[in-house]
Amino acid sequence: MKIKYSNLLVAMLLPLTYVSAQDVSLTPPDAKPGECYARVVLPAQYETVEEKVMVKEPSEEISVVPAEYGTAEEEIEVIPETKKLTPIPAKYKEVTEMIEVKPALRIWKTSLKKKALPVSPEILAAAKAAGVDVEHAQPGDCYKEYFVPRKFKTVTEDVLVRNEHNETEVIPPEFETVEKTVVVKPASKKVVEVPAVYEETEEQVLVEPEKTVWKKGQNPAQKVSGATGEIMCLVKVPAKYKTIKKRVLKTPATTKVEEIPEETKVIKVKKLISDTQIKNVPMPALYETVEKKVLENNATFSWFYAKDEVEAGLKYTGHQICLTEEPAKTKKITKIVLDTPASVEEEVVPAVNEVVAVQKLVAEAKEVKTPIEAEYKMMKKRKKVSDTHIEWKRILCQTNMTKDIIAKLQSALNEKGYSAGKADGVLGRGTRRALDKFQRDSSLATGGITYETLNALGITL
């Protein structure tokens, strides 16, 4: 079944040029009756080629082989022979002894009753000051306080704080220091590397040359009803460049020689002036004079034995002290006592020698140059194979276009990801846009439904 399309719609989609039989120059090549041809735009063809571009010029690397040294040893006396006095510690032995770990507890209380309270230190001191012999009192003794005047007197006493004895003093040896200069590293030469200097430069590399393409133009005559024809414009597309960075050698690597002075070391050597000596120093006994205040008479109070009768006129203050006693506790312990006193042992200390390592130059430093090859980078470029041009191509037209073919075209475009809309066999604006995009993406001729486009979509008639 043949479908009739509007003449205006066919003229917009398929720009056909009808010519008379006599006008042979406008007739498509090898045209046969019943076939339709159109002048379509064939896009320019390109191929990708790679070009080798140098990004770093050749240079050379300089490495320095350091100088070699040999080591020699020299022995020097730094401390002469001397004497060493070694103290021999004292020896001790263990003895067993019973010691009192808790003395007999004598407590002054206000009475001899079991629940009596202890006497305050102030009251006990007052009783002692009044003449009560608290140190020699016996348990069960009680004393009462009465009011009497009291007096104090000052006495002096020499107390021994250190016994007379002899002390052994060791006088150490005396030395004087002598300095000696030794060459530990001789003078030499050092090769110093001065690295190469590079600078960064930029270069414009041609990626795609200048080209011309055919683009459709609008014929003002087409706005007039019944007008036909098409306009193709040849447009100039400028060349494309890519900026690459290059590292260019500015100053090559060199070396310079530096003089290294010799290294010396100053060694301090001790010289014996006087040897170790022993000296006994007598130490006299040491005393310290201590002043004491002794209570002669209590200025205000006096204490009397509780069972004694007191003089008339003395008034009892109510203070009483009674000595109570708890037995002492003992413990068996082992003590360490001196068995053999300490002494001094003399021995000869041999001289001390020091080995000094001295470096000697075996081989001078030298430089080694290693060439560094240039570096290249492969750049991809698009090279034009053919320009954009117009050719006659066999297409579908009113005579051989059916609704079934348009539906197949829509389905094939949708399968390839081009939104042609519903496969309803109607050649609408969406189908035309999808067809044009597929032809451009596939580098096919645009301007009509060519047989090459149908083959690319897998559509057979």
Top-confidence range, 57-66, 298-307, 319-328, 405-414: 405-414
Higher pLDDT: 261 or 184? It is 261
- Is residue 331 included in any domain, yes or no? no
pLDDT(109) > 50: yes
* Distance from C-alpha of 119 to C-alpha of 109, rounded to nearest angstrom: 5
**Axis-axis angle for helices 403-415, 429-441 (nearest 10):** 50
Higher pLDDT: 250 or 431? It is 431
- Is residue 65 included in any domain, yes or no? no
Q: Which pLDDT belongs to residue 300? A: 67
pLDDT band for position 121 (cuts 50, 70, 90) = very high
Higher pLDDT: 152 or 263? It is 263
pLDDT(335) > 80: no
What mean pLDDT comes out for the span 124-143?
Answer: 89
67-102 tens-digit pLDDT: 787 887 777 877 888 878 788 888 888 888 888 777
Q: Which pLDDT belongs to residue 299? A: 55
Q: Which pLDDT belongs to residue 322? A: 93
- Is residue 92 included in any domain, yes or no? no
* Distance from C-alpha of 90 to C-alpha of 92, rounded to nearest angstrom: 7
Nearest to 127 by CA among 305, 324, 325, 311: 305
* Distance from C-alpha of 326 to C-alpha of 138, rounded to nearest angstrom: 12
The whole domain housing 28 covers 1-43+389-461
- Is residue 247 included in any domain, yes or no? no
pLDDT(336) > 90: no
Q: Which pLDDT belongs to residue 148? A: 64
- Is residue 35 included in any domain, yes or no? yes
* Distance from C-alpha of 364 to C-alpha of 341, rounded to nearest angstrom: 68
SS3 category, 296? strand
5-41 tens-digit pLDDT: 333 333 334 333 333 333 334 556 666 776 777 777 7
* Distance from C-alpha of 31 to C-alpha of 28, rounded to nearest angstrom: 6
Top-confidence range, 21-30, 49-58, 167-176, 378-387: 167-176
348-402 tens-digit pLDDT: 888 888 887 777 777 887 778 888 888 888 877 777 777 777 778 778 776 677 8
229-252 tens-digit pLDDT: 455 666 778 888 888 888 888 788
Q: Which pLDDT belongs to residue 9? A: 35
- Is residue 13 included in any domain, yes or no? yes
Q: Which pLDDT belongs to residue 223? A: 35
DSSP structure string for 59-120? EEEEEEE--EEEEEEEEEEEE--EEEEEEE--EEEEEEEEEEEE--EEEEESSSSTTPPBPP
pTM of the model: 0.31
Q: Which pLDDT belongs to residue 219? A: 38
| % of the chain residues with pLDDT over 70 | 86
pLDDT(414) > 90: yes
Q: Which pLDDT belongs to residue 281? A: 84
Q: Which pLDDT belongs to residue 149? A: 58
- Structural domain count of the chain: 1
Report yes or no: 268 and 177 within 8 Å, Cβ to Cβ. yes
Residue with the two structure tokens 């604006």: 429
- Is residue 134 included in any domain, yes or no? no
Which residues pair with residue 183 across a beta bridge?
Answer: 264
Mean pLDDT of the chain: 79
- Is residue 342 included in any domain, yes or no? no
pLDDT(54) > 90: no
Q: Which pLDDT belongs to residue 411? A: 93
User: For 388, which DSSP code?
Assistant: -
